[in-house]
Structure 1
């Protein structure tokens, strides 16, 4: 069944980063901290500063992201900016797997957000289901022709250039108009 508008998801898992002290790491010592990523960037910077201050290496200043969890397959680099991390974490926390897949497709949070706001058609069991609903809502189909319409073929044609389809589960696709 289609949804009229995008439903905001609640992301159940913790979205977090493991930040390591590079001075300690370069001296063969593992020193770092798991930090919740979907919080304010300044709060993350404060936690990083506290981790560096507690480093076994005096005057440690540099850090790197050595691990992360909860980003639903989105890759982070070792030196990803904290502002980028928090924006991405907040986006995934709000939109869940769909948000992560949109970010992977567009590579940009603003473009992914625009797609959600302006181009989202809904959630369907298949693209053919969307093609059928769209056709029936926009065209008066004579009853005698109804059984001759090939919605699977329409869906294949739509997928070539008209729509972006993101699959988030079995019989669960999200449809977006392409720009």
Structure 2
């Protein structure tokens, strides 16, 4: 049985004027990360401005802990837009674990690899493994008298070598195939 959650997962960034920041003033606002590269200095100042450079000083729901350019923030936002909202927390956890596949030469995760590997949100790996055993009919043709001697603990431990897991903030774990 998979678990579903309803946490806000929309990537957002606080975009500020770099010139104002260097002068000791915080001028900026929160924006959706996927639109960050479309924000102008006029948007940030609410009027025309001679300042030219914007910077993302704070981030939400992006699995890196650093400032970034609006262009990079937009790339991160668009990556998260590629997956269903109910899978964004799992993608975040996958990237934050460091055990993910990046596209190209940067840090951006490959959403196709994520989709191929993601097995769901479970209370524990044992729960995932037992449902997988049912789904694949692991003991389907084995007589019950013999199936009772099946060593579930060893099978689940060995199966674990083919998967990785990440803890979920809402409890349970995310399970990923290690391809």
TM-score higher than 0.5 here?
yes
Q: 1:128 is paired with a residue of what secondary structure?
A: helix
Structure 1 residue 27: deviation in Å?
1.0
Q: Is the 8 A contact 1:165 1:175 kept in 2?
A: yes
**Separation (CA, whole Å) in 1 of partners of 2:2 and 2:142:** 20
Match of residue 79, structure 1, among 57, 68, 73: 68
Q: 1:148 is paired with a residue of what secondary structure?
A: coil
Q: Is the 8 A contact 1:20 1:31 kept in 2?
A: yes
Aligned to 1:115: 114
Aligned to 2:158: 157
Note the residue ranges of structure 1 that are not aligned, 5 or more in a row. none
Q: Is the 8 A contact 2:32 2:77 kept in 1?
A: no
Structure 1 residue 15: deviation in Å?
3.2
**Separation (CA, whole Å) in 2 of partners of 1:22 and 1:69:** 19
Residues 1:106 and 2:100 aligned together? yes
**TM-score (ref. length: structure 2):** 0.71
Residues 1:33 and 2:29 aligned together? yes
Residues 1:65 and 2:56 aligned together? yes
Report the aligned-residue RMSD: 3.2
**TM-score (ref. length: structure 1):** 0.71
Note the residue ranges of structure 2 that are not aligned, 5 or more in a row. 103-107
Moved over 4 A (4+): 52-56
